[in-house]
Amino acid sequence: MTHTLIDPFQRAITYLRVSVTDRCDFRCVYCMSENMTFLPKKDLLTLEELDRLCSSFIRLGVEKLRITGGEPLVRKGIMTFFDAMSAHLAKGTLKELTLTTNGSQLDRFAADLANCGVRRINVSLDTLDDKKFADITRWGRLPQVIKGIDAAQKAGLRVKINAVALKGFNEDELFTLQEWCASRDMDLTWIEVMPMGDIGNEDRLDQFWSLKDLRSRLANQFTVTDLAERSGGPARYVRIEETGQKIGFITPLSHNFCESCNRVRITCTGEIYTCLGQEGHSDLRAPLRTSDDDAVLETAIRAAIGLKPKGHDFDYSRQDVSGRVSRHMSHTGG
């Protein structure tokens, strides 16, 4: 048995993103409806199951693990899981352990995360205006998140800010967010809003602000150089020559990165999605729960990787006509 996961298009799968909960203490308008129905607890993988599953992926060659959600830091006991993963870091079998968070719980957990070997984190933050922040997250409070970012930096974590580009909402903060990130030595990445899940009354088309437009606004003001750097995912980077700052752009629905895609995603219920933009998935919870034998689980993982599609514009796409994906981002993890 080889210890590398290779998909049918000869891509080695080395990056796993795991959603550890569908719950969240915010209700961002582009992500959730105000009255979300969450999954019954019994459907979620337990922390032990998450450990067993991730450890199997690491044995099979996954080197980078990103923990996401929902809000990963609201999962009760989550530090036990980080602790378990840090053992793989210590052995050198796992190269990077990281997370994507809304920052609300960082004040509490930043030091523990750093102790578990986490070095870099992504914090999602779309605005620096208190009122706008409360509006976009519905339940969030900006000062709490800033306090969390302070704690993360104090603990030595490198912070990258992810901002969803929203028309008429944070267009006017393009430069203020950039300057704020530069002043705190944080990278900034803009994410194009994706049509995922039912989010209530919000109209997606109203929210859409193309990153092409965002980039050209930057280029009107600064000298913007494209960087060759790629992460195997949908992010592209530019450098602002005047400040040396690196800015990322994530256009999840562009498909020009699929050839180098090295990642798969696991939901909090143990479904594996081998492509963010496709509905196709396999169940890993059943093999986890029906057998204690890791060989059974590894066979199921390999079978799922064997179904990874070429890309999300694949001819046999199972998306509906508008290209909309029915699940929420909080289900698969962003």
Q: Which does 309 bind (CB under 5 to 8 A by kind): ligand SF4, ligand SAM, none?
A: none
> Could you please report the per-residue DSSP string of 245-260?
EEEEEE-TT--TTGGG
- Quote the CA–CA distance of 102 and 26 in Å, as a whole number: 8
Calpha distance 263→137 (Å, rounded) = 28
The SS3 call for residue 240 is: strand
The full DSSP string for 23-37 is --S---TTT--TTPP
Among 91, 19, 6, which Cα is nearest to 53's? 19
Minimum distance, C-beta of residue 265 to ligand SAM, in the bound complex (Å): 11
* Binding letters toward ligand SF4, positions 84-123, x by CB under 6 A: ------------------x---------------------
x/- map, 6-45, ligand SF4, by CB under 6 A:
------------------x-xxx--xx-------------
Facing residues of 162 across strands?
Answer: 124, 189
Q: Within 233-272, which residues bind ligand SF4 (CB under 6 A)?
A: none
- Which of helix, strand or coil describes residue 123? strand
Report the Cα 46 to chain-centroid distance in Å: 20
Identity of the residue, 33 or 231, whose beta carbon is nearer to ligand SF4 in the bound complex: 33
The entry of ligand SAM, ligand SF4, none that residue 32 binds, CB within 5 to 8 Å by partner kind: ligand SF4
Nearest to ligand SF4 of 163, 238 (CB atom): 163
Which partner in ligand SF4, ligand SAM, none is near 288 (CB below 5 to 8 A by kind)? none
Q: Extract the tokens encoding 317.
A: 């796409």
Count residues near ligand SF4 (CB under 6 A).
Answer: 12
**169 scored as a contact of ligand SF4 (CB under 6 A):** no
Among 131, 77, 138, which Cα is nearest to 102's? 138
Site residues (CB under 6 A) for ligand SF4, limited to 51-80: 69-71
Q: Which residues here bind ligand SF4, judged by CB under 6 A? A: 24, 26-28, 31-32, 69-71, 102, 124, 330
